[in-house]
Structure 1
């Protein structure tokens, strides 16, 4: 069979590889001048530092199959994400752990003492937290909420935590030990030569053709047996019901000598700075040595039509709009919507890869059984 895939990020690349290995021909249409989507990495010309061009991506997963999959296409180097945070003109470790608690409150509490101390700080009058703010106040108390979450959330989402659902603070980011590993997954690491090389290796198959700087036109769909679309869901339908809202990111890149901040990620949690964080990219490749350094100051704002969409805003009214597009998409034949943009969901890299493998395998199975192919393989709304 002959397939078109729109987008050369992880979703498109993994689906393409699975279909190619099953003997099918795949043509990928990528509107940008590079593969790997927002995971794209490249060497900085001045410093030779490997840059995460669209912001840092750290690979972390408990999914052994996904971990083995990516390791087929790149050596992965050990990497532990240790995030620091500035608030009240002081530096702390994130996620909030025993060191953070003891430093913040000038204490020397043991784990059990800290649990009791934080429980007393929490607002016991909030029994059924519905908003992000209520969730934080109920479990952490006002001081930690104000210090680490309130202003950072306003900068990141452009709205008060009182307007955001409690689900955003799903797992309370607090530990009562000195573990400062930002993630708790079994497998963590970085591709030795960057994500773009990893995706390039996935796409390295005789049955795969990639066209960069090339938009896919809906009229081309008739030339293919099926289309896998990882672009924006609303964009495919020319925004006929309106635009699904996203947050976008602006990066101010600076080159410096030596070290700038001494760590990969420094969050600015209070309102003393307009940016959310500074990332220092040579620290994402700690096995390399560089005399110079590159930092990105990261700003979050509402996504405009010409911007790169990053994070979907899935409030009540947005979900109502999404439902219209899902119903519209379900009327289509010969196309499946995949990935972060195609399903309007925030997806980590490992989940994106796992879903792409599932889509390709189920598609092959349904095709062999001569059954109808769905527009979505995942529950979207």
Structure 2
């Protein structure tokens, strides 16, 4: 059997590799001139810095099997993402932790005292928070909310926090110790040679062919026994019902001779600063030494027709349109929609790999058992 896999990012590469190892021939196509999707990395010719071309990617997971799988194809170097933020004329540590709290309020509190102090700041009159703003006010109080969450959120999502669901903030931790590791997972690291080298190794199999700068057309599907689509869900249907909403990112690249900010990620919480953060890419490879530096200022805005989609909006209007596209997808024959774009969900890299492995295993099982492969392995 021959499988057509649209997209040479993590989803497509992992499905192709798992399927090829089970004896299937896999044709992988991608409209971009490179593999690895948005986790594509490449070295800057002038400085030698390994750049995260579409923004920073730190691999973090509690899934031991996924961690082992990724380490089959790359040497991972331990990396802890210690994010800083510039807000109200000072630099603080994120996530909000005991150091942040003490510094912001000019105190020297211990964990128990700080917990009680923040509890006194929280707005307990909000019993059932429905919006991002209500959740923040109940969670951390107005001062911390306005310093660290309000302005950044407005820039990132292009709307008021009072218009966003409370669920977005529930993913942000508040710590009453001095732990400034942005993630709390057991396994954290970055491939020594970058993500593109890792994806290249995944795709390196005699039953896999890769065609770049190749756009999908329906005739390709006719020649395949099954299609795995990791492109935009609405794009598969040529946007016939309209476009699903995304936020996109613009990167303003600049160079610096030396060390520009002393950390990999510096957020900017003040609303009058137009960018959301600055990333300094040599700090994502602290095991290397470079005199020159490559930095990106990031700006968030609504995605246009020709923009790269980054963050699905998933508010009421988008969810309604999504449901209609899901119905169309389920009516398709021999096509499975995968990945963050194919299922219109924000996915970390470890979840992407896990779902791709499970999808490929389910496909093999469906062929053995003579069952139809579903359009979605995970409910969008």
Which residue of 1 is the match for residue 134 of structure 2?
Answer: 134
Which residue of 1 is the match for residue 2 of structure 2?
Answer: 2
- Paired residue secondary structure (1:113): helix
Task: Note the C-alpha offset of 1:316.
Answer: 1.3
| 1:15-48 alpha-carbon deviations (Å, 9 max, x no partner) | 0000100111100111000000000000001100
- Paired residue secondary structure (2:35): coil
In the TM superposition, 1:36-115 aligns within 5 A as 36-115=36-115
Structure 2 gaps, min length 5: none
Distance 2:121 2:351 in 1: 35
Q: How many matched pairs?
A: 380
Task: Note the C-alpha offset of 1:171.
Answer: 3.5
Contact 2:95-2:172 within 8 A present in 1 as well: no
- Paired residue secondary structure (1:35): coil
Contact 2:267-2:277 within 8 A present in 1 as well: yes
Which residue of 2 is the match for residue 242 of structure 1?
Answer: 242
TM-score by length of 1: 0.99
| 1:144-184 alpha-carbon deviations (Å, 9 max, x no partner) | 00000001000000000000000001244210000000000
Distance 1:178 1:253 in 2: 32
In the TM superposition, 1:119-158 aligns within 5 A as 119-158=119-158
- Paired residue secondary structure (1:170): helix
Distance 1:46 1:299 in 2: 24
Distance 2:313 2:172 in 1: 21
Distance 1:272 1:257 in 2: 27
Task: Note the C-alpha offset of 1:124.
Answer: 1.1
Which residue of 2 is the match for residue 277 of structure 1?
Answer: 277
Task: Note the C-alpha offset of 1:272.
Answer: 3.2
- Alpha carbon RMSD of aligned pairs, Å? 0.6
- Paired residue secondary structure (2:91): strand
- Paired residue secondary structure (1:239): coil
Which residue of 2 is the match for residue 288 of structure 1?
Answer: 288
Distance 2:196 2:309 in 1: 19
Distance 1:179 1:375 in 2: 42
Distance 2:100 2:367 in 1: 54
Distance 1:206 1:185 in 2: 35
Which residue of 2 is the match for residue 346 of structure 1?
Answer: 346
Distance 1:254 1:358 in 2: 41
Distance 1:351 1:172 in 2: 18
Which residue of 1 is the match for residue 214 of structure 2?
Answer: 214
- Paired residue secondary structure (1:248): strand
Task: Note the C-alpha offset of 1:291.
Answer: 0.6
Q: Which runs of 4+ in 1 moved over 2 A?
A: none
Distance 2:20 2:139 in 1: 50
TM-score by length of 2: 0.99
